[in-house]
Amino acid sequence: MKQEIKPASGKLGILIVGVGGAVSTTMITGTLAACKGTAKPIGSITQMATMKMENGEEKLIKDVVPLTNLNDIIFGGWDIFPDNAYDAAVYAEVLKAKDLNAVKDELEKIKPMPAAFDHNWAKRLNGTHVKSTNNRWEMVEQLRQDIRDFKAANNCERIAVLWAASTEVYIPISEEHMTLEALEKAMKENKEDIISPSMCYAYASIAEGAPFVMGAPNLCIDIPAMWEFSKKMNVPIAGKDFKSGQTLMKTVLAPMFKTRMLGVSGWFSTNILGNRDGAVLDDPDNFKTKEVSKLSVIENIFEPEKFPDLYGDVYHKVRINYYPPRKDNKEAWDNIDIFGWMGYPMEIKVNFLCRDSILAAPIALDLILFSDLASRAGMCGIQTWLSFFSKSPIHEFNEEPIHDLFTQWRLVKQTLRNMLGQESPSYLD
């Protein structure tokens, strides 16, 4: 049955945590350039992908579901540095001057609000443009006011919030995260070692009825308290950690090995990265958060308990090394030891020289546009169908995450078809 979807009328305000970061400024610049016709939104599913309808006709996704038009987006957000989006983009050194200058006036108007920041959660960063708060609950209240003020000042019909800031330190889930009541109590009691800044952003966003997308591997919306709150407020949540580079390759290669029943004995992954994210991940406590996210992928795909002869003893190692000369141009190496007929060994080497923000920018845009669509369709809680875009998709405890890229892609299309009241045209789609 076709879902009732509210039209994408008026302006959509996209508020980004880390609006001056490399991913954010790259996404904003590309979106503005696409609106002006000076660049194409390559890599964006919402703007360039197609899907088949039940009658076999193939159409652009944006032509069949009511997504927000890029011209109706207004960008804003928070950052721990005061630079406007143009100056921040120049500093990031991802995009060429000609591309930035084509939308310079628009970028210069995007000035960050002071960020909710705690140095203990990202020790390699020293923010100068931060809020003064006495406790976590006050932090939440200030963020809620920021959202309301931005919405009113920019005449926005709707707001969506995206975390595109750095990875926070690793913490395990605790009792304070299990219920909404416990979470709010911990915020009011200012348990700074339990309640991260990202949780404050997520809570504030949900409280204001704005979809929240987690683009980092932080423990944040993947806790029962946030699931409870998002359902209570009828707000979609999605994430976590943009699936952009090395993990994207794993979700393509691992299903191939599994489908062909080829064994894997070891998978060694290492990266060099020189941007601000690389500097943060150089701290072992922050890297632990990223490591857990990246390690979770192949075990889920391989199902070692079901295929012990093939995947029962895979040695999986992940490394990220901070190397300033590379800046945003990340290089990822994978050595995969596989075995085939009669157990004979083989090796696969992958050397991916990628651009971190160029890959992540369209993911960030798509997650926001699809989350806004979900909100207008009355969907709330965890948006499992958006796992396609995430390294470590959030899921409730009684569910298994989906990591296979192609299974995830089918889920995206089927969810969109369900919104339209359409059936799948064939099993091949």
Task: Please report, for the chain, the start and end positions of each structural domain, with discontinuous segments joined by +.
Answer: 11-242+357-420, 246-353
pLDDT tens by residue, 82-99: 999 999 999 999 999 999
Residues written for the chain = 429
In this predicted structure, the answer to whether residue 253 has a pLDDT above a threshold of 60 is yes
Average pLDDT over the chain reads 94
Tokens of 47: 């703007």
Cα 304 from chain centre: 27
Tell which residue, 145, 168, 12, 144, has the closest CA to residue 76: 12
pLDDT in the model for residue 273 = 85
In this predicted structure, the answer to whether residue 292 has a pLDDT above a threshold of 80 is no
Mean of the pLDDT values across residues 186-203? 97
**Percent of the chain's residues with pLDDT above 70:** 98
Domain 246-353 annotated CATH 3.30.360.10: yes
pLDDT tens by residue, 113-160: 999 999 999 988 888 999 999 899 999 999 999 999 999 999 999 999
pLDDT in the model for residue 293 = 65
Domain 11-242+357-420 annotated CATH 1.10.1040.10: no
Tell which residue, 200, 387, 386, has the closest CA to residue 293: 387
pLDDT in the model for residue 428 = 55
Pick the range with the lowest mean pLDDT from 20-24, 378-382, 402-406. 402-406
pLDDT tens by residue, 331-348: 999 999 999 999 999 999
Residue 387, classed as helix, strand or coil, is helix
